[in-house]
Structure 1
Amino acid sequence: MIEVKIPSPGESITEVEVANWLVADGDLVHKDQDLAEIESDKATLILNAPESGKIIIQVEAGTTAKVGSVACQIDTSVKVEDAKAAPTAEEEGKEKALISPKGSSAVSEPTEKDRGTTNSKVEKKDRKEIISENNKKVKTTPLAREKMKAAGLSVDDIVEGLRKLSVSDVDAVIEGLSSDASLGAEEEAVRSVKREKMSQLRKKLSQRLVKVKNETAMLTTFNEIDMSAVMDIRKRYQKQFVEKHGLKLGFMSFFLKASALALMGRPKVNSMIENEDIVIPQYVDISVAVQTPKGLMVPVIRNVERQSLANLEMELKELANKARSGRISLEEMTGGTFTITNGGVFGSMFSTPLINPPQSAILGMHNIVERPVAVNGRVEVRPIMYVALSYDHRVIDGKDSVGFLMDVKKMIENPEMLLHGGKNPMNSLLEL
């Protein structure tokens, strides 16, 4: 019997929440199989099986547990391979039994001996016993079990005597039950209330957001950026970029690179307060806000100032996938010096993003909308994005904050500057 203990997400964390079990009590599990989602106030971790065997769950889903306590046990004396043995002739016969909807009776095709039976009551009794026996041995896929649990359905609600349930079987029953009670349910839904328990991650996020508002002198400055040049590059080179690197060229890589170069030129925006000191890193590690089912997470891309656009796109995609699947590590979300958040993907036109402590500044991107603008004395329609920089005024002065946004604006509107460390290429050519 092996004990599987709650892992430590970090030095300062002593308690976590077992958010969800991915297997049921008594299931046979394989070595390295995902068993549960463990949620702390900083990240969601996956609990894996150290060995194969039968699982005995000790902590219920939705409850908190101490780091190092036993989450479950695995009985390794039960061999997983035994469950995969070929079915016997008797079991194969039962699998071929006719299936009936809920409330009706059905059995396999009667034999000559069965046809000789004249007592109909006995025949019905036998049918119930066969169905009951089959129900005890029904196999279901994990996704089917999850949908059944969410809909409050039992095996008998799905189908009687079926050896294995698929997702389509569960969906069919859910749809049928929903249509049968649609009138009553619709009336109840108008006045219904849904209550959800706040996760550890959401609790910690709430505390951090309130702390930022109370403990920083936060101010926000705005600007607008003409996205024509970047959109033209993406249009002209997207096909070649995909063929070369295997993924699409987005807007975020341009903003990551432009921000990194602007931060190197204005180091105060890249700084943070530590006790009575102002710490100014000589590198740029940018946290990128990613919306996940568990809440907002901010994986970090290291040394952005030295990376190419293709590398930034690849690393961004990898970290975002990890965050959304709940497989990102605590190390991958710590140590950022600056943050970028993109509310534009949800349609946001304008916002004042909140600083991600202990950092001192955050850049907010928004949606791109065609707007009339003045270009060389003429009105033209251009794709415009509003950008916002929230910053801690205790560390960053107005000159640096406004100058940072202007630097980013110039580099996005003139992408060739990204090749020259954020400087005008003509200045480099003329040695100005």
Structure 2
Amino acid sequence: MSHKIAIIGLGYVGLPLAVEFAKKYKVVGFDINKDRVDELKGGHDHTLEVSDEDLSKVLNSEGSKGLDLTFDVNGIKNSNVFIVTVPTPVDRNNRPILTPLIKASETVGKILKPNDIVIYESTVYPGVTEDECVPVLERHSGLTFNKDFFCGYSPERINPGDKKHTVANIKKVTSGSTQEIGKIVDNLYKSIITAGTHLAPTLKVAEASKVIENAQRDVNIAFVNELAIIFNKLGIDTHDVLEAAATKWNFLYFKPGLVGGHCIGVDPFYLAQKAQEVGYHSEIILAGRRLNDSMGEYVATEILKLMVLSDIPVKKAKVLMLGITFKENCPDIRNTKAIDVYKSLGQYGMLVDVYDPWADFNEVKNEYGIDMISNPSSDYDVIVHVVAHKEYEELDFDSIKKTNGVVYDVKGSLPKEVANKRL
């Protein structure tokens, strides 16, 4: 089978995958966002997941490999492998939103041909591919699943901002709707993934393997966050405790902090929702989510206590918040829990400046209504180190805070002599 690949969705997941495949295959990248397509055609990726140099190499390729970009569905109708990489968020009640996945399936279904393969990479609960997506593909194509067309599931493992663990360097789980298709899907990914692949026996196994990855990490961080709350009450530095405990070979070294982003802060709800559908109420998974979701307000309360102990008036206190993205050295602000800290401090009447050299000013303004500052001023009563961007390592904290000003280190990565307290 000669692979003609279409990538549906050109975000944090789809674009790096498209670029990697385009080094060996002819690939068409499709996105409904015309501005995004135009940006990429111009040779720049604002998510910074793909460098301008790497993007230009595949855009300028000719012949049997290279990347074409389009927002017109007609541009992908000649493909025979469709890889769907659209977001799978939750609503305000933390219920899974499958709309982007369904819409993408409708788009593919309308151009689906006999023997085509549709591979999903979006994080879902077990059964979504066969129970939710396949019926849409069948309805819009008029074709029969596992007779006329086939499916695969290969969960994305992108870590935004991570230049070490890139697409090709992360082992890939693969699966197919039949044993034969599983081998085809596995060989396709194996051709670009240098770290190798793992062929799961079924689509549901592959779906489940992905959703528990982030749920497991979420629970582990929730445990450490709970420890931080306990140790703070005992007057013990949590990070000192963790460093001591980590000397044991089998200790899992997780650090306390805010848990947001589009994966860890969302995916556990997908598994919990499916568990509820089959009659089981999740205890540990949802407890971990509740605790992690409460950490923004907890941090704000700890800052308030620190201010009171330091005789700093709370109302109209001048605060500098370092970071608004969901993680360090990454421009992604989706589901960032830094906003919880910002809102909680504002409720106490504090005046908060947000400084983040990685975040896009317009995106932050549109999403959260915050006008960020270009550079910190001076005389801050409080500096809150929320996100450990590398640029903050060069900041002279003494020069931008008042003599009696305090520094609260959420990330626990500042030198001890700089931070008055850390989570």
- TM-score, length-scaled by structure 2: 0.28
Q: With CA pairs under 8 Å and 6+ residues apart, which has the higher RCO, 1 or 2?
A: 1
Structure 1 or 2, whichever has the larger Rg, is 1
More strand by share: 1
- TM-score, length-scaled by structure 1: 0.27
